[in-house]
Amino acid sequence: MRKHLKKAFYVISSLLLGSYVHASEQLSITWLENDSGPFYIEKNETTPHAGLCNEITDLLITALPHIKHTKVTIPQKRANKYLDEGHMACYACMIHREQKTHRVTYSIPTTVYPPFTVLSNSEQAEKIYKAHGNPVSLISLLTDAHFMYGQNDARKFGNPLDNIAKNIKLYDYAALSSTGSQASYALLTQLEHGYIDYTIDYPFVADYYNKKYQQDIKKLAIGDPEQHVVLGAIGCSTSAPNNYAQRVLVDINNALKNTVLPSEKYQQNQRAWLEESFPDFLNYYQRFILAPLKSPAIDGLELE
């Protein structure tokens, strides 16, 4: 009897010790960043506002002192590989999806971006309007071999546009640029010099490029298919061990809801970059970001 009691004591002690060690492990986040403006820009005398993604990352680091934080600057394609490999990492500026993917599990929505637009140079913009309407019929343009489409090779736009690209086999003939240092700048420089005729991106990316480099990239509205605002989110590696994404996103979502998203500092940062091309930003932010925070059903995690 004593032998059995002693064995049971060791089993229970091992279980309790294992639970204690697991509970006491400090969570960590490697924040994956790149150097592509206006998403990632460090504050300095010429840019008093941090980039769209720098600001939310820094606010979360402050709001989550019990988590160990590290920042790593790498190209987008390598960041995708890092997430796919299951590292304990998160990326602050992703397009929100309702369901997690094999790559990332998403936070609650963090911001709202204006609809995607066609970006082109002055000469080709007029030709595109003439051939494909104003606003532009996107499928008509994408299937027109007279115009060369360019894109960073790791760029994604969310399901509607990604599905169009897949269905028409866009990447079989598009000019794909490597997502190395300053990927957006490299692509828009190709556009400005006529190496490609157009690309697709947010209008505020053109605003940033035009101001910084005194250029005149044109923003062409897309009418078919109709474009909608885009919700942003934080994504953390789905394949990281020990349900990492679910665990860390509980803390991230709480900090977002209670501290970051309602803060005037964060909203001012977003407005500084978005309002020029998106004058209704605050109305959309109230509707899609702040109003849902009052709903107890929001948790930001879609478990399968």
pLDDT tens-digit series, residues 67-117: 999 999 998 889 999 999 999 999 999 999 999 999 999 999 999 999 999
Q: How many whole angstroms separate alpha carbon 201 and alpha carbon 186? A: 14
Q: How many whole angstroms separate alpha carbon 90 and alpha carbon 68? A: 13
What is the three-class DSSP state of 197?
coil
Tell me which fold the domain 28-113+230-294 belongs to: D-Maltodextrin-Binding Protein; domain 2 (3.40.190)
The domain 117-224 having CATH identifier 3.40.50.1000: the answer here is no
Residue 296: the pLDDT is 61
Give the residues of the chain that fall short of pLDDT 50: 1-24, 298-304
The pTM of this model reads: 0.86
Instruction: Map out the domains of the chain as residue ranges.
Output: 28-113+230-294, 117-224
Residue 180: the pLDDT is 60
Which uninterrupted H or E stretch holds 93? strand 89-95
pLDDT tens-digit series, residues 156-189: 787 788 888 888 777 777 777 665 667 788 889 9
Burial 79-95 (b: 16+ CB within 10 A, else e): bbebbeeebbbbbbbbb
Place of tokens 């924040």: 31
Query: 80, 232 in Cβ contact below 8 A?
Result: no
Residue 76: the pLDDT is 87
Residue 77: the pLDDT is 86
Residue 47: the pLDDT is 76
Residue 174: the pLDDT is 78
